[in-house]
Amino acid sequence: MSPPTAISSTAAASTSAPDPDAMLIEVYKLLAQNKLNAAQALADKLVAAYPTFRLGYLVQGDLLMMHNFPVTTFGAAKNAPPDKLKDLRDEARARIKSLSERPNPNLVPRAVLQLRDDQKHVLVVDANRSRLYVYENQAGKLKFVSDYYMTQGKLGVEKIKEGDQKTPLGVYYITSHLPGSKLSDFYGAGALPINYPNEWDKVNGRSGKGIWLHGTPSDSFSRPPLASDGCIVLTNPDLQKISETVEIGKTPVVISEHVEFVTPAKWNEERDSATKLINDWRLDVESKSDSRWLNNYSSKFRSPQGDSLSVWFDKQQALFAGTADLSIKLSDVTVFYYPGKENLLVSTFTQESRFGKNRNVTRKRQYWAKEANRWKIIYEVVI
Protein backbone atom coordinates (compact mmCIF):
# COMPACT_ATOMS: atom_id res chain seq x y z
CA MET A 1 0.00 0.00 0.00
CA SER A 2 1.17 3.49 -0.73
CA PRO A 3 0.86 6.62 1.39
CA PRO A 4 -2.15 8.88 0.85
CA THR A 5 -0.18 11.13 -1.50
CA ALA A 6 0.53 8.30 -3.95
CA ILE A 7 -2.76 8.85 -5.77
CA SER A 8 -4.28 12.25 -6.29
CA SER A 9 -7.52 12.68 -4.40
CA THR A 10 -10.90 12.84 -6.06
CA ALA A 11 -10.72 16.58 -5.58
CA ALA A 12 -8.15 16.66 -8.35
CA ALA A 13 -10.84 15.49 -10.74
CA SER A 14 -13.16 18.32 -9.84
CA THR A 15 -12.55 22.02 -9.33
CA SER A 16 -16.09 22.74 -8.16
CA ALA A 17 -15.66 21.62 -4.53
CA PRO A 18 -12.94 20.37 -2.20
CA ASP A 19 -12.64 16.68 -1.35
CA PRO A 20 -14.26 16.08 2.07
CA ASP A 21 -12.08 13.03 2.76
CA ALA A 22 -8.88 14.96 2.11
CA MET A 23 -10.13 17.81 4.29
CA LEU A 24 -10.85 15.42 7.17
CA ILE A 25 -7.38 13.95 6.90
CA GLU A 26 -5.85 17.41 6.92
CA VAL A 27 -7.87 18.44 9.99
CA TYR A 28 -6.44 15.51 11.95
CA LYS A 29 -2.94 16.18 10.67
CA LEU A 30 -3.19 19.74 11.93
CA LEU A 31 -4.42 18.51 15.30
CA ALA A 32 -1.48 16.12 15.53
CA GLN A 33 0.76 19.14 15.03
CA ASN A 34 -1.09 21.00 17.82
CA LYS A 35 -2.41 23.55 15.31
CA LEU A 36 -5.90 23.82 16.76
CA ASN A 37 -6.79 27.15 15.18
CA ALA A 38 -5.76 25.99 11.70
CA ALA A 39 -7.72 22.74 12.19
CA GLN A 40 -10.75 24.75 13.33
CA ALA A 41 -10.53 27.01 10.28
CA LEU A 42 -10.39 24.02 7.94
CA ALA A 43 -13.33 22.34 9.70
CA ASP A 44 -15.30 25.55 9.27
CA LYS A 45 -14.53 25.47 5.54
CA LEU A 46 -15.62 21.84 5.41
CA VAL A 47 -19.11 22.50 6.76
CA ALA A 48 -19.41 25.64 4.66
CA ALA A 49 -18.65 23.62 1.53
CA TYR A 50 -20.95 20.76 2.59
CA PRO A 51 -23.72 22.17 4.81
CA THR A 52 -25.50 18.78 5.12
CA PHE A 53 -22.34 16.82 6.02
CA ARG A 54 -23.18 15.66 9.56
CA LEU A 55 -19.73 14.20 10.15
CA GLY A 56 -18.22 17.59 9.36
CA TYR A 57 -20.35 19.24 12.03
CA LEU A 58 -19.33 16.61 14.57
CA VAL A 59 -15.63 17.29 13.89
CA GLN A 60 -16.27 21.02 14.04
CA GLY A 61 -18.05 20.63 17.40
CA ASP A 62 -15.16 18.61 18.86
CA LEU A 63 -12.70 21.31 17.80
CA LEU A 64 -14.81 24.05 19.36
CA MET A 65 -14.84 22.15 22.66
CA MET A 66 -11.06 21.70 22.50
CA HIS A 67 -10.65 25.45 22.91
CA ASN A 68 -12.09 25.11 26.43
CA PHE A 69 -11.13 21.64 27.71
CA PRO A 70 -9.41 18.42 26.58
CA VAL A 71 -11.42 16.16 24.27
CA THR A 72 -10.36 12.52 24.52
CA THR A 73 -12.92 10.85 22.28
CA PHE A 74 -14.28 11.46 18.81
CA GLY A 75 -17.79 12.90 19.02
CA ALA A 76 -17.57 14.22 22.56
CA ALA A 77 -20.89 16.06 22.54
CA LYS A 78 -22.92 15.36 25.64
CA ASN A 79 -26.38 13.81 25.39
CA ALA A 80 -25.88 12.87 21.72
CA PRO A 81 -27.76 9.70 20.67
CA PRO A 82 -25.26 6.79 21.00
CA ASP A 83 -26.40 5.12 17.77
CA LYS A 84 -25.97 8.32 15.76
CA LEU A 85 -22.52 8.88 17.24
CA LYS A 86 -21.52 5.33 16.37
CA ASP A 87 -22.65 5.84 12.77
CA LEU A 88 -20.59 9.01 12.44
CA ARG A 89 -17.55 7.44 14.08
CA ASP A 90 -17.78 4.50 11.70
CA GLU A 91 -17.99 6.86 8.74
CA ALA A 92 -15.00 8.86 9.95
CA ARG A 93 -12.92 5.69 10.36
CA ALA A 94 -13.90 4.42 6.91
CA ARG A 95 -13.11 7.71 5.19
CA ILE A 96 -9.78 8.26 6.91
CA LYS A 97 -8.70 4.62 6.59
CA SER A 98 -9.49 4.56 2.88
CA LEU A 99 -7.07 7.42 2.30
CA SER A 100 -4.33 6.24 4.63
CA GLU A 101 -4.49 2.74 3.11
CA ARG A 102 -5.14 3.79 -0.47
CA PRO A 103 -3.92 1.18 -3.00
CA ASN A 104 -0.81 1.92 -4.99
CA PRO A 105 -1.78 3.48 -8.35
CA ASN A 106 0.67 1.17 -10.09
CA LEU A 107 -1.38 -1.86 -9.02
CA VAL A 108 -4.60 -3.05 -10.66
CA PRO A 109 -7.69 -4.88 -9.36
CA ARG A 110 -7.06 -8.58 -9.91
CA ALA A 111 -10.72 -9.38 -10.60
CA VAL A 112 -10.88 -7.38 -13.84
CA LEU A 113 -8.90 -9.49 -16.33
CA GLN A 114 -10.28 -8.35 -19.66
CA LEU A 115 -12.73 -5.74 -20.91
CA ARG A 116 -14.23 -5.25 -24.35
CA ASP A 117 -12.66 -2.50 -26.42
CA ASP A 118 -15.89 -0.49 -26.23
CA GLN A 119 -16.12 -0.71 -22.43
CA LYS A 120 -14.52 2.56 -21.43
CA HIS A 121 -14.74 2.19 -17.65
CA VAL A 122 -15.26 -0.37 -14.92
CA LEU A 123 -16.54 0.30 -11.38
CA VAL A 124 -14.90 -1.77 -8.64
CA VAL A 125 -16.54 -1.84 -5.21
CA ASP A 126 -14.56 -2.78 -2.09
CA ALA A 127 -17.05 -3.41 0.72
CA ASN A 128 -14.41 -3.71 3.45
CA ARG A 129 -12.99 -0.31 2.58
CA SER A 130 -16.41 1.30 1.91
CA ARG A 131 -14.92 2.46 -1.37
CA LEU A 132 -15.83 2.50 -5.05
CA TYR A 133 -12.96 2.73 -7.54
CA VAL A 134 -13.29 3.87 -11.14
CA TYR A 135 -10.83 2.49 -13.70
CA GLU A 136 -10.48 3.49 -17.34
CA ASN A 137 -9.89 0.96 -20.10
CA GLN A 138 -6.92 2.24 -22.07
CA ALA A 139 -6.22 -0.16 -24.93
CA GLY A 140 -6.88 -3.13 -22.69
CA LYS A 141 -4.94 -1.80 -19.70
CA LEU A 142 -6.56 -0.47 -16.54
CA LYS A 143 -5.82 3.06 -15.37
CA PHE A 144 -7.04 4.42 -12.05
CA VAL A 145 -9.36 7.43 -12.46
CA SER A 146 -10.93 8.18 -9.06
CA ASP A 147 -12.39 6.67 -5.91
CA TYR A 148 -15.37 7.46 -3.72
CA TYR A 149 -16.72 6.74 -0.26
CA MET A 150 -19.81 4.52 -0.40
CA THR A 151 -22.45 2.95 1.81
CA GLN A 152 -23.52 -0.69 1.60
CA GLY A 153 -26.25 -2.84 3.13
CA LYS A 154 -26.95 -2.65 6.86
CA LEU A 155 -25.93 -6.29 7.29
CA GLY A 156 -22.97 -6.21 4.93
CA VAL A 157 -22.52 -8.21 1.74
CA GLU A 158 -23.38 -11.54 0.10
CA LYS A 159 -27.06 -10.98 -0.56
CA ILE A 160 -29.14 -14.17 -0.55
CA LYS A 161 -32.77 -13.15 -0.47
CA GLU A 162 -35.23 -10.30 -0.67
CA GLY A 163 -35.15 -8.05 2.38
CA ASP A 164 -31.95 -9.41 3.97
CA GLN A 165 -30.43 -5.89 3.91
CA LYS A 166 -27.25 -7.14 2.24
CA THR A 167 -25.39 -5.98 -0.84
CA PRO A 168 -24.76 -8.65 -3.49
CA LEU A 169 -21.30 -9.89 -4.47
CA GLY A 170 -20.65 -10.46 -8.14
CA VAL A 171 -20.14 -9.02 -11.60
CA TYR A 172 -23.02 -6.84 -12.76
CA TYR A 173 -23.81 -4.22 -15.38
CA ILE A 174 -25.45 -0.79 -15.26
CA THR A 175 -28.86 -1.28 -16.87
CA SER A 176 -30.26 2.27 -16.87
CA HIS A 177 -29.95 5.79 -15.52
CA LEU A 178 -32.83 7.16 -13.48
CA PRO A 179 -32.56 10.96 -12.98
CA GLY A 180 -33.33 12.34 -9.56
CA SER A 181 -36.19 14.40 -10.99
CA LYS A 182 -38.10 11.17 -11.62
CA LEU A 183 -37.44 9.67 -8.18
CA SER A 184 -38.28 10.54 -4.59
CA ASP A 185 -35.85 12.73 -2.65
CA PHE A 186 -34.58 9.58 -0.87
CA TYR A 187 -32.50 8.71 -3.96
CA GLY A 188 -30.94 12.15 -4.26
CA ALA A 189 -29.31 12.99 -7.61
CA GLY A 190 -30.55 9.78 -9.22
CA ALA A 191 -29.90 6.08 -9.53
CA LEU A 192 -27.96 3.58 -11.64
CA PRO A 193 -29.71 0.18 -11.41
CA ILE A 194 -27.65 -2.99 -11.91
CA ASN A 195 -28.78 -6.39 -13.20
CA TYR A 196 -29.10 -8.15 -9.85
CA PRO A 197 -30.05 -10.96 -9.76
CA ASN A 198 -27.91 -12.06 -12.70
CA GLU A 199 -28.03 -15.58 -14.15
CA TRP A 200 -25.51 -16.91 -11.61
CA ASP A 201 -27.54 -15.48 -8.73
CA LYS A 202 -30.69 -17.09 -10.08
CA VAL A 203 -29.15 -20.55 -10.57
CA ASN A 204 -27.93 -20.34 -6.96
CA GLY A 205 -31.35 -19.38 -5.62
CA ARG A 206 -30.55 -15.78 -4.76
CA SER A 207 -33.58 -13.53 -4.83
CA GLY A 208 -34.43 -9.88 -4.50
CA LYS A 209 -34.44 -6.94 -6.87
CA GLY A 210 -33.91 -3.22 -7.13
CA ILE A 211 -30.20 -3.04 -6.31
CA TRP A 212 -29.06 0.42 -7.38
CA LEU A 213 -26.19 2.81 -7.08
CA HIS A 214 -27.94 5.96 -5.90
CA GLY A 215 -27.53 9.27 -4.11
CA THR A 216 -28.64 10.67 -0.76
CA PRO A 217 -31.60 12.79 0.37
CA SER A 218 -31.23 16.55 0.14
CA ASP A 219 -30.93 16.90 3.92
CA SER A 220 -27.96 14.52 4.21
CA PHE A 221 -24.60 14.69 2.47
CA SER A 222 -23.69 11.06 3.16
CA ARG A 223 -24.75 7.95 5.08
CA PRO A 224 -22.85 5.61 7.43
CA PRO A 225 -20.87 2.67 5.93
CA LEU A 226 -23.62 0.16 6.79
CA ALA A 227 -26.92 1.91 6.24
CA SER A 228 -28.75 0.83 3.08
CA ASP A 229 -31.17 -2.00 2.40
CA GLY A 230 -28.67 -3.48 -0.06
CA CYS A 231 -27.99 -0.67 -2.50
CA ILE A 232 -24.69 1.16 -2.92
CA VAL A 233 -25.15 4.74 -1.80
CA LEU A 234 -22.87 7.62 -2.74
CA THR A 235 -22.95 11.34 -2.13
CA ASN A 236 -24.90 13.24 -4.76
CA PRO A 237 -21.81 14.99 -6.22
CA ASP A 238 -20.01 11.64 -6.46
CA LEU A 239 -22.98 9.91 -8.09
CA GLN A 240 -23.16 12.67 -10.67
CA LYS A 241 -19.47 12.23 -11.51
CA ILE A 242 -19.87 8.47 -11.84
CA SER A 243 -22.99 8.89 -13.99
CA GLU A 244 -20.91 10.83 -16.49
CA THR A 245 -18.54 7.87 -16.98
CA VAL A 246 -20.97 4.94 -17.21
CA GLU A 247 -22.54 3.56 -20.39
CA ILE A 248 -25.88 1.80 -20.10
CA GLY A 249 -25.58 -1.92 -20.74
CA LYS A 250 -21.80 -1.75 -21.04
CA THR A 251 -20.23 -0.57 -17.80
CA PRO A 252 -19.41 -3.47 -15.44
CA VAL A 253 -19.77 -3.15 -11.67
CA VAL A 254 -17.61 -5.63 -9.77
CA ILE A 255 -18.71 -5.87 -6.12
CA SER A 256 -16.23 -7.62 -3.82
CA GLU A 257 -15.95 -8.00 -0.09
CA HIS A 258 -12.26 -7.20 -0.39
CA VAL A 259 -10.52 -6.07 -3.58
CA GLU A 260 -7.14 -7.62 -4.25
CA PHE A 261 -4.68 -5.40 -6.10
CA VAL A 262 -1.79 -6.98 -8.05
CA THR A 263 1.15 -5.85 -10.12
CA PRO A 264 0.70 -5.41 -13.88
CA ALA A 265 3.07 -8.36 -14.41
CA LYS A 266 0.91 -10.64 -12.25
CA TRP A 267 -2.25 -9.29 -13.91
CA ASN A 268 -0.86 -9.92 -17.40
CA GLU A 269 0.11 -13.45 -16.44
CA GLU A 270 -3.35 -14.29 -15.14
CA ARG A 271 -5.02 -12.57 -18.07
CA ASP A 272 -2.95 -14.60 -20.54
CA SER A 273 -3.87 -17.80 -18.70
CA ALA A 274 -7.58 -16.95 -18.85
CA THR A 275 -7.34 -16.04 -22.54
CA LYS A 276 -5.64 -19.36 -23.27
CA LEU A 277 -8.29 -21.22 -21.29
CA ILE A 278 -11.11 -19.80 -23.39
CA ASN A 279 -9.23 -20.20 -26.66
CA ASP A 280 -8.45 -23.84 -25.84
CA TRP A 281 -12.17 -24.40 -25.27
CA ARG A 282 -12.85 -22.88 -28.69
CA LEU A 283 -10.33 -25.18 -30.36
CA ASP A 284 -11.73 -28.22 -28.56
CA VAL A 285 -15.27 -27.45 -29.70
CA GLU A 286 -14.01 -26.74 -33.20
CA SER A 287 -12.29 -30.13 -33.29
CA LYS A 288 -15.67 -31.88 -32.91
CA SER A 289 -13.93 -34.41 -30.69
CA ASP A 290 -16.38 -35.45 -27.98
CA SER A 291 -13.66 -36.17 -25.43
CA ARG A 292 -11.85 -32.88 -26.02
CA TRP A 293 -15.07 -30.88 -25.93
CA LEU A 294 -16.43 -32.58 -22.81
CA ASN A 295 -13.11 -32.29 -20.97
CA ASN A 296 -13.82 -28.58 -20.53
CA TYR A 297 -17.00 -29.17 -18.52
CA SER A 298 -17.61 -30.01 -14.87
CA SER A 299 -19.61 -33.10 -13.88
CA LYS A 300 -21.65 -30.63 -11.80
CA PHE A 301 -22.66 -28.71 -14.93
CA ARG A 302 -26.31 -27.79 -15.29
CA SER A 303 -27.84 -25.92 -18.22
CA PRO A 304 -30.24 -22.97 -17.76
CA GLN A 305 -33.03 -25.48 -18.42
CA GLY A 306 -31.73 -27.77 -15.66
CA ASP A 307 -30.26 -30.38 -18.03
CA SER A 308 -27.37 -32.52 -16.85
CA LEU A 309 -24.11 -32.41 -18.78
CA SER A 310 -24.88 -35.52 -20.82
CA VAL A 311 -28.36 -34.33 -21.84
CA TRP A 312 -27.11 -30.83 -22.66
CA PHE A 313 -24.15 -32.19 -24.64
CA ASP A 314 -26.37 -34.38 -26.79
CA LYS A 315 -28.34 -31.27 -27.76
CA GLN A 316 -25.15 -29.38 -28.62
CA GLN A 317 -23.90 -32.22 -30.81
CA ALA A 318 -27.17 -32.22 -32.72
CA LEU A 319 -26.55 -28.62 -33.78
CA PHE A 320 -23.45 -29.64 -35.72
CA ALA A 321 -24.52 -33.12 -36.84
CA GLY A 322 -23.52 -34.03 -40.37
CA THR A 323 -21.13 -31.11 -40.84
CA ALA A 324 -17.65 -31.88 -42.08
CA ASP A 325 -16.12 -28.60 -41.03
CA LEU A 326 -16.68 -26.22 -38.15
CA SER A 327 -15.00 -22.90 -37.48
CA ILE A 328 -15.58 -20.73 -34.42
CA LYS A 329 -14.56 -17.13 -33.91
CA LEU A 330 -14.79 -15.32 -30.57
CA SER A 331 -14.98 -11.54 -30.23
CA ASP A 332 -15.85 -8.85 -27.67
CA VAL A 333 -14.48 -11.02 -24.88
CA THR A 334 -14.62 -10.03 -21.19
CA VAL A 335 -13.15 -12.02 -18.31
CA PHE A 336 -13.49 -11.49 -14.56
CA TYR A 337 -12.66 -13.38 -11.42
CA TYR A 338 -16.10 -13.67 -9.89
CA PRO A 339 -16.23 -12.23 -6.33
CA GLY A 340 -17.39 -14.47 -3.49
CA LYS A 341 -16.37 -17.61 -1.64
CA GLU A 342 -16.42 -19.74 -4.79
CA ASN A 343 -13.31 -19.88 -6.98
CA LEU A 344 -14.87 -18.77 -10.27
CA LEU A 345 -14.07 -17.12 -13.58
CA VAL A 346 -16.81 -15.58 -15.70
CA SER A 347 -16.28 -14.93 -19.39
CA THR A 348 -18.67 -13.31 -21.86
CA PHE A 349 -18.13 -13.30 -25.61
CA THR A 350 -19.75 -13.23 -29.03
CA GLN A 351 -19.44 -16.63 -30.71
CA GLU A 352 -19.64 -16.86 -34.48
CA SER A 353 -19.95 -20.47 -35.65
CA ARG A 354 -19.67 -21.43 -39.31
CA PHE A 355 -20.49 -24.97 -40.44
CA GLY A 356 -21.19 -25.87 -44.03
CA LYS A 357 -23.29 -23.06 -45.48
CA ASN A 358 -24.64 -22.09 -42.08
CA ARG A 359 -23.62 -19.23 -39.83
CA ASN A 360 -24.76 -18.76 -36.24
CA VAL A 361 -23.92 -15.80 -33.98
CA THR A 362 -24.70 -15.80 -30.26
CA ARG A 363 -23.64 -13.85 -27.19
CA LYS A 364 -22.61 -16.38 -24.56
CA ARG A 365 -21.54 -16.32 -20.91
CA GLN A 366 -19.58 -19.09 -19.19
CA TYR A 367 -18.85 -19.63 -15.51
CA TRP A 368 -15.68 -21.63 -14.85
CA ALA A 369 -15.01 -23.29 -11.48
CA LYS A 370 -11.60 -24.48 -10.23
CA GLU A 371 -11.72 -28.24 -9.66
CA ALA A 372 -8.56 -30.13 -8.66
CA ASN A 373 -6.34 -27.39 -10.11
CA ARG A 374 -8.23 -27.44 -13.41
CA TRP A 375 -10.78 -24.90 -14.61
CA LYS A 376 -14.08 -26.47 -15.70
CA ILE A 377 -17.25 -24.87 -17.08
CA ILE A 378 -20.01 -25.24 -14.52
CA TYR A 379 -22.64 -23.06 -16.19
CA GLU A 380 -23.11 -21.73 -19.72
CA VAL A 381 -25.88 -19.53 -21.03
CA VAL A 382 -26.78 -17.63 -24.18
CA ILE A 383 -27.62 -14.05 -23.21
Q: Which residues does the annotation mark as catalytic?
A: 214, 231
Which of 150, 129, 124 lies closest to 224 in space, CA to CA? 150
Indicate the Cα dihedral angle 330, 335, 340, 342, nearest 10°: 50
CA distances from 321 to 188, 218, 316, 318, 367 (A): 56, 62, 9, 5, 26
- Whether 330 and 349 have beta carbons less than 8 Å apart is answered as yes
Which of 115, 202, 114, 193 lies closest to 381 in space, CA to CA? 202
Encoded amino acid at 114, one letter: Q
For 329, list phi and psi in degrees, rounded to 5: -120, 135
- Whether 187 and 195 have beta carbons less than 8 Å apart is answered as no
Tell me the pairing of strands 121-126 and 252-256: parallel
SS3 121: strand
Q: Where are the alpha helices (DSSP H) in 295-358?
A: 309-319
Q: For 167, which DSSP code?
A: B
